């Protein structure tokens, strides 16, 4: 199924932010089947529980991709599947969302802890704040934030909390190093959630994969310029197909 790409969304905002990108990809290649798989709605923050559910839902021998948390989960699932995954692409997806000694180019722990506390107290206000951070750096940040929030599903507070707790735990560095298939990782230069420096750190970790930085772009660059992002992905897929 080298002509099938499964995309996973980020935390809290559902499948809507990926829909323009999926449509743009289908427009570039009529033979490419692009599907968006919603994230599991689990009360558990155990990574294996999330991967088990995704593994059951998503067909093998497809390309895996995702935005933010979705890209982190796609990375882990690609490593789990090995040769049964055609390749991996991530969008604004940091190997570790929260900074630690071995990976400083991420969100400071105290900032994330405040997010976690906010989500526990008032999930809707936290989601609104999150959408504003996703749009930070965009040309029309407020308009983009409204668009992100407007398409957000009505996820239960328990599932939102579990997703955030999962986000705090995942470190995909080992998975990315273990997965031998082709990889493309795209970052936004003005991302308010994933520092642009993460792109250079990732390239240093994985010198034989493709890492791109879109200079004037927010965390939600896939929604800012779906056709530009689709073009970069299509070029990568074509290049891999020619190998």
**Residues acting as catalytic residues:** 68, 191, 219
E strand or H helix at 108, and its extent?
none
Q: Round to whole Å and give the CA distance between 7 and 90.
A: 9
DSSP H or E segment with residue 186: strand 183-188
Tell me the two tokens of residue 15: 């499948």
Alpha-carbon gap, residue 147 to 226, rounded angstroms: 14
- Number of Cα atoms under 13 Å in the Cβ half of residue 187: 24
Structure tokens at 37: 């798989």
If 0-12 CB within 10 Å is exposed, 13-18 middle and 19+ buried, where does residue 142 land?
Answer: exposed
Eight-class DSSP state of 98: B
């Amino acid at each position: 199924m080298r002509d099938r790409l499964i995309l996973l969304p980020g935390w809290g905002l559902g499948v809507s932010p990926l829909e323009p990108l999926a449509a743009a990809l289908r427009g570039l290649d009529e033979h490419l089947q692009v599907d968006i798989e919603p994230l599991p709605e689990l009360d558990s923050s155990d990574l294996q529980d999330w991967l088990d559910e995704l593994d059951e839902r998503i067909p093998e021998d497809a390309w895996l991709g995702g935005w933010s948390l979705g890209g982190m989960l796609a990375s882990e699932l690609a490593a789990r599947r090995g040769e049964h995954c055609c390749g991996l692409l991530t969008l604004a997806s940091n190997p570790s969302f929260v900074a630690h000694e071995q990976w400083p180019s991420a969100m400071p722990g105290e900032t994330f802890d405040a997010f976690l506390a906010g989500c526990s107290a008032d999930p809707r206000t936290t989601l609104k704040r999150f959408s504003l951070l996703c749009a930070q750096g965009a040309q029309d940040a407020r308009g983009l934030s409204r668009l992100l929030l407007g398409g957000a599903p009505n996820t239960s507070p328990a599932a939102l909390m579990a997703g955030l707790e999962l986000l705090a735990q995942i470190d995909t560095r080992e998975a990315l190093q273990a997965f031998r298939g082709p990889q493309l990782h795209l970052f936004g230069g003005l991302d308010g959630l994933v520092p642009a420096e993460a792109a250079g750190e990732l390239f240093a970790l994985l010198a034989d994969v493709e890492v791109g930085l879109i200079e004037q772009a927010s965390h939600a660059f896939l929604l800012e310029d779906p056709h530009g992002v689709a073009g970069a992905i299509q070029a990568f897929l074509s290049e891999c197909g020619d190998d």
